[in-house]
């Protein structure tokens, strides 16, 4: 936000003026959104479908840093992190409610930006904003979004369905969001020392976008249905691949083998990792914030899955007593754990 424009304090509008400003243009897109903003509660009718609900809260200073997160991107990301959890149930996101706690430093213009990002995500993912809450905070901006989705009961996919010999699949590429964050942190430090320095971000657009404005793979849900492939277990990758694979294995009472050399990693993730001395596999396994999907499918679906380049097979499910392993590039078996593995100083 440019500092030469005068910013409007929220007190100029008051709570109701502010709510009205943030919600006045809403046009409901989904038939299931019976009543949106403007009454005591929203009404949603999923008509025989089951309702899937998830919520995520983002806190300034913990989950985001306003010195390098543009508010519009932050609004977009706050929606995506929620929709990702709906997709992970194999459900279709339909509505969100948005609650914000604003600090004395928050201006009306900055909330305009935040909501512009929220609405952009709502349009892209075809969900309706149907309510929220507005309050104040002494410590900084807090954004809490609840997403609602629908699924036929028989379509819901839990973490607990993985079976021995199933293939472990992931969408997209991993580790980029972590590297993007490290790049932003590095440039912030450079700026602190020399405020006239220009940030050196060229060639790293992908890792920055993955950190600041991530997408979740909504088209995969329909594609899997069209392919006639039904995953046995599914989870979204928000905390790093290792911890998500372990969640599936624990819930399904199975073990697994994941191959390091099959992890989908973008060139720019590898390149930036080399600059800062962090192996890209470590970022993929433990970095987090990728918002891709991890799922298991029966071995018999391999011929179908392999025709889709956006889906990568990275390993397979074993019996529980085999444990959870990572096979490194040189064929060494290491225990897969949520803290990651030491890749060795000589690599």
Bridge-based pairing state of the strands 333-335 and 128-136? unpaired
Tell which one of 22, 141, 169, 237 touches ligand ADP (CB under 6 A).
22
Token pair in block for residue 312: 């990568």
Q: Of the two residues 144 and 252, which places its CB atom closer to ligand ADP in the complex?
A: 144
**From the list Mg ion, ligand ADP, none, partner contacted by residue 242 (C-beta under 5 to 8 A by kind):** none
DSSP assignment of 130-195: EEEEEEE-SSS-EEEEEEEEEE-GGG---GGG--TTPEEEEES--SHHHHHHHHHHHHHHHHHH-T
Q: Of the two residues 43 and 156, which places its CB atom closer to Mg ion in the complex?
A: 43
Only one residue has tokens 């799922």, namely 295
Tell which one of 23, 30, 144, 243 touches ligand ADP (CB under 6 A).
23
| Residue closest to Mg ion, measured at CB | 133
Q: Of the two residues 19 and 338, which places its CB atom closer to ligand ADP in the complex?
A: 19
- Give, as one character, the DSSP assignment of residue 321: G
**From the list Mg ion, ligand ADP, none, partner contacted by residue 132 (C-beta under 5 to 8 A by kind):** ligand ADP
In angstroms, what is the minimal distance from the CB of 40 to ligand ADP?
Answer: 5
In angstroms, what is the minimal distance from the CB of 52 to ligand ADP?
Answer: 20
Q: Of the two residues 37 and 121, which places its CB atom closer to Mg ion in the complex?
A: 37
Give yes or no for residue 15 binding Mg ion (CB under 5 A).
Answer: no
CA distances from 308 to 25, 28, 165, 300, 329 (A): 39, 34, 20, 15, 24
**Torsion over CA: 282, 286, 292, 297 (sign):** positive
Tell which one of 12, 20, 133, 222 touches Mg ion (CB under 5 A).
133
Query: Is residue 262 a contact partner of residue 173, using CB atoms and an 8 Å limit?
Result: no
Residue span 106-135 as binding mask against ligand ADP, x where in contact by CB under 6 A, dash where not: -----------------------x-xxxx-
What distance in Å separates the CA atoms of residue 253 and residue 246, rounded to the nearest whole number? 10
Q: Of the two residues 97 and 208, which places its CB atom closer to ligand ADP in the complex?
A: 97
Token pair in block for residue 83: 């929709």
What distance in Å separates the CA atoms of residue 33 and residue 125, rounded to the nearest whole number? 15
Give yes or no for residue 37 binding ligand ADP (CB under 6 A).
Answer: yes
Judged by the rule CB under 5 A, the positions of this chain that interact with Mg ion are 133
Judged by the rule CB under 6 A, the positions of this chain that interact with ligand ADP are 19, 22-23, 37-40, 98, 100, 129, 131-134
């Amino acid at each position: 936000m440019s500092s030469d424009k005068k910013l409007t304090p929220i007190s100029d509008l008051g709570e109701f003026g502010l709510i009205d400003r943030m919600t006045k243009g809403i046009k409901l897109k989904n038939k299931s959104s019976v009543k949106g903003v403007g009454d005591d509660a929203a009404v949603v009718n999923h008509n025989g479908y089951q309702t899937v609900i998830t919520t995520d809260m983002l806190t300034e200073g913990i989950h985001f840093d306003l010195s390098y997160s543009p508010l519009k991107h932050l609004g977009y990301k706050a929606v995506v992190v929620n929709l990702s959890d709906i997709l992970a149930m194999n459900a279709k996101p339909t509505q969100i409610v948005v609650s914000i706690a604003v600090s004395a430093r928050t201006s009306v213009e900055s909330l305009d930006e935040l909501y512009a990002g929220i609405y952009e995500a709502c349009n892209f993912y075809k969900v309706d904003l149907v309510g929220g809450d507005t309050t104040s905070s002494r410590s900084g901006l807090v954004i809490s979004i609840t997403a609602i989705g629908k699924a036929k009961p028989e379509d819901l996919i839990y973490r607990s369905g993985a079976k021995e010999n199933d293939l472990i699949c992931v969408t997209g590429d991993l580790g980029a969001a972590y590297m993007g964050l490290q790049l932003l942190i590095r440039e912030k430090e450079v700026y602190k020392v020399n405020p006239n320095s220009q940030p050196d971000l060229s060639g790293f657009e992908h890792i920055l976008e993955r950190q600041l404005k991530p997408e979740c793979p909504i088209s995969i849900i329909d594609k899997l249905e069209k392919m006639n492939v039904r995953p046995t277990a599914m989870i979204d990758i928000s905390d790093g691949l290792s911890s998500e694979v372990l969640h599936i294995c624990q819930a399904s009472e199975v073990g697994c083998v994941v191959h390091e050399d099959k992890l989908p990693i973008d060139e720019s993730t590898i390149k930036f990792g080399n600059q800062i001395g962090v192996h890209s596999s470590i970022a993929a396994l433990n970095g987090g914030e990728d918002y891709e999907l991890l799922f298991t499918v029966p071995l018999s679906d391999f011929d179908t899955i392999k025709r889709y380049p956006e889906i990568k097979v990275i390993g397979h499910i074993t019996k529980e007593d085999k444990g959870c392993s990572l096979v490194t590039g040189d064929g060494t078996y290491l225990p897969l754990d949520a803290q990651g593995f030491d890749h060795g100083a000589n690599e």
